[in-house]
């Protein structure tokens, strides 16, 4: 079955998951970063104070994901969506209307938790749990909601800021999202609650990822892209200077990364269905590994383009591979628990990565050395996961 048939037969459920992924744009760093200056001015914070507050609420959101994310294993998806959307709306109102900076920061935290955390959690869990033989394709299609936001929203928001203030722009975007969500909440093909809520006081059954060596062996492999790409985004000025390129070339290459995610997602989803996640998990980071080698060897404009395009191809394929791999190992009935743990780990790691890279740069490391460290991290994560992947391949045969 191809993508056309999948869309024809399951467009309602795919539309819900896709919209959840697109709605996550509201809490993503690239979107909030567009409004950093006016938000800081509104809250009375300096750039440094805003950065500190942003890091703190992101870490708190990661801990909250560990607590709240597993509930999608027993709460009905429609109810889960209503709760997350209500909290997200409350966050937007607090951030844009609060007269006190503390409430504004609380609103920012709700936006990060529900936008970056809970909305992608809802979209990926729905696609991963409700589809079986077409799971990879469904996850590939759903992930394009994030890509649409990354490609469409920055230039659109920049254009609209000519006529609207930042608060009015946030309210307008929230109203547009509400107009898309209300019909789906009322008439969408929502699945039933997947399981029963654990009895209070009774030990919860199912996997405990932090106590499972398998999870820790897979974690570095799955965090290579979030950690390294965060470093490239944050230190883009240093990267382009050390590689002998320019920020103009980086901006064009960033658009190329967005385009590269599309074939990564569609081909990755198709190959997951045909070849399985275990085999693909061994090779999907190869485009980014080659990109790191090219950037370290040749530098210049070629190096910047290689990093963005290679990273885009791998990022596009990762979600379908990671989600199906987790289902393969821990079962679909516990997907919410495992995905919430992985999401929290990624939030923590991506929050710490800029600090680690900043210290390395302050100590005198050039960006070629940073790229070498990223390649070593990639190879180490790949090597550590091989035992788990080999055991899963043996189990399949």
Q: What is the secondary structure of 324-378 as a DSSP string?
A: HHHHHHH-GGGHHHHHHHHHHHHHHHHHHHHHHHHHHHHTT--HHHHHHHHHHHH
CB 47 within 8 A of CB 181: no
pLDDT-flagged residues of the chain (< 50): 397
What tokens appear for 232 in the block? Answer: 């490239």
pTM listed for this prediction: 0.83
CB 193 within 8 A of CB 74: yes
- Residue 258 CA to residue 309 CA, distance in Å, equals 8
| pLDDT the model gives residue 195 | 65
Residue 262 CB: number of other CB atoms within 10 A? 18
What tokens appear for 236 in the block? Answer: 């883009």
Quote the Cα angle for 195-388-383, to 5°.
135
| pLDDT the model gives residue 311 | 92
CB 314 within 8 A of CB 225: yes
- Which of 230-260 are b and which e, b meaning 16 or more Cβ less than 10 Å from the residue's Cβ? bbbbbbbebbbebbebeeebbeebbeebbeb
What tokens appear for 117 in the block? Answer: 């955390």
CB 147 within 8 A of CB 316: yes
What's the 3-state SS for 36-56? HHHHHHHHCCCHHHHHHHHHH
Residue 108 CB: number of other CB atoms within 10 A? 25
pLDDT in tens, 50-73: 777 887 888 888 888 888 888 888
State phi, psi for 104 to the nearest 5 degrees: -65, -40
What tokens appear for 151 in the block? Answer: 């490609």
Nearest alpha carbon to residue 59 among 314, 354, 373, 336: 354
- Residue 365 CA to residue 362 CA, distance in Å, equals 7
What tokens appear for 393 in the block? Answer: 């391949």
Which of the 8 DSSP states describes residue 198? P
- The crossing angle, in degrees rounded to 10, of helices 300-330 and 135-160 is 130
CA distances from 320 to 178, 206, 265, 268, 284 (A): 27, 22, 8, 7, 11
* Torsional sign, CA 221, 277, 256, 55: negative
Which of the 8 DSSP states describes residue 282? T
CA-CA-CA-CA dihedral for 296, 299, 304, 305, to nearest 10: -100
pLDDT in tens, 218-257: 999 999 998 888 888 878 888 888 899 888 888 888 888 8
Residue ranges of domains in the chain, CATH in brackets: 1-189 (1.20.1250.20), 207-397 (1.20.1250.20)
| pLDDT the model gives residue 196 | 67
């Amino acid at each position: 079955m191809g993508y056309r048939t999948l869309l024809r037969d399951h467009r309602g459920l795919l539309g819900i998951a896709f919209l959840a992924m697109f709605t996550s744009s509201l809490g993503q760093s690239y979107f909030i970063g567009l409004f950093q200056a006016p938000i800081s001015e509104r809250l009375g914070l300096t750039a440094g104070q805003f950065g500190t507050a942003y890091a703190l609420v992101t870490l708190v959101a990661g801990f909250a994901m560990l607590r709240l994310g597993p509930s999608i294993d027993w709460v009905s998806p429609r109810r889960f969506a209503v709760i997350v959307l209500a909290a997200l709306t409350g966050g937007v109102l607090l951030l844009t209307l609060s007269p006190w900076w503390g409430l504004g920061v609380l609103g920012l935290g709700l936006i990060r938790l529900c936008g970056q955390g809970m909305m992608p959690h809802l979209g990926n869990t729905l696609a991963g749990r409700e589809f079986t033989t077409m799971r990879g394709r469904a996850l590939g299609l759903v992930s394009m909601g994030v890509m649409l936001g990354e490609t469409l929203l920055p230039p659109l928001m920049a254009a609209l800021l000519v006529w609207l203030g930042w608060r009015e722009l946030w309210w307008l975007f929230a109203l547009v999202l509400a107009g898309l969500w209300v019909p789906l909440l009322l008439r969408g093909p929502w699945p039933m609650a997947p399981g029963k809520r654990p009895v209070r006081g009774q030990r919860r059954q199912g996997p405990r990822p932090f106590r499972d060596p398998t999870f820790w062996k897979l974690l570095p492999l799955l965090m290579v892209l979030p950690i390294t790409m965060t470093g490239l985004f944050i230190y883009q000025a240093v990267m382009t200077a050390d590689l002998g390129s320019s920020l103009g070339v980086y901006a064009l290459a960033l658009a190329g990364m967005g385009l590269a995610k599309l074939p990564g997602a569609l081909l990755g989803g198709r190959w997951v269905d045909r070849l399985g996640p275990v085999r693909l998990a061994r090779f999907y980071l190869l485009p980014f590994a080659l990109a790191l080698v090219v950037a370290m060897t040749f530098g210049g404009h070629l190096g910047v383009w290689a990093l963005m395009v290679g990273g885009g191809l791998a990022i596009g394929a990762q979600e379908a591979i990671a989600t199906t791999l987790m289902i393969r190992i821990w079962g679909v009935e516990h997907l919410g628990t495992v995905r919430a743990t992985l999401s929290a780990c990624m939030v923590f790691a991506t929050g710490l990565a800029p600090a680690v890279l900043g210290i390395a740069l302050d100590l005198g490391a050039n960006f070629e050395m940073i790229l070498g460290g990223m390649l070593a991290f990639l190879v180490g994560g790949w090597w550590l996961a091989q035992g788990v992947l080999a055991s899963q391949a043996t189990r399949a045969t």
